[in-house]
């Protein structure tokens, strides 16, 4: 096992050819401050740090799949491995600098990921 978290947020991160370090930092700030956890009135109103949650960041280049041309996905818009790894590291470094406890998957590895989705809340953030 590479890592696990308790209550918190599972982030699948897909990095595109045109993504920048600024994008990674901005998305880390956004992800860490999303008010998606329930307050005492049952409303989605609290960010991750307010509920002392953790974040699991899993690199997932297949999120960049283009399926517009048929049934076989194309990955031309995915960033090459080297730049993508640097931006993945920038994202997690930015999260940690914001006080978010972060665990990560292994970049480029074939991983099995399990999730218990309490909600369900699934949100797409784009740069």
Indicate which residues carry an active-site annotation.
60-62
Nearest CA to 123 out of 68, 49, 44, 67 is that of 44
22: three-class secondary structure by DSSP: helix
Q: 126 CB contacts (<8 Å, ≥6 apart)?
A: none
In degrees, rounded to 5, the angle at the alpha carbon of residue 110 between the alpha carbons of residues 27 and 101 is 40
Asked if 92 and 101 touch (Cβ cutoff 8 Å), the reply is: no
Q: How many other CB atoms sit within 10 Å of the CB of residue 67? A: 9
d(CA 87, CA 14): 10
């Amino acid at each position: 096992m590479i890592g696990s978290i308790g209550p918190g947020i599972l982030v699948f991160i897909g990095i595109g050819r045109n993504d920048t370090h600024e994008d990674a930092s901005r998305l880390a700030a956004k992800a860490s401050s999303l008010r998606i956890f329930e307050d005492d009135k049952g409303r989605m109103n609290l960010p991750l740090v307010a509920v002392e949650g953790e974040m699991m960041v899993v690199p997932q280049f297949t999120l960049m799949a283009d399926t517009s041309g048929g049934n076989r996905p194309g990955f031309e818009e995915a960033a090459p491995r080297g730049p993508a790894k640097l931006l993945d590291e920038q994202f997690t470094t930015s999260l940690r600098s914001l006080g978010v406890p972060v665990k990560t998957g292994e970049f480029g590895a074939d991983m099995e990921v399990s999730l218990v989705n309490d909600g369900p809340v699934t949100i797409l953030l784009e740069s």
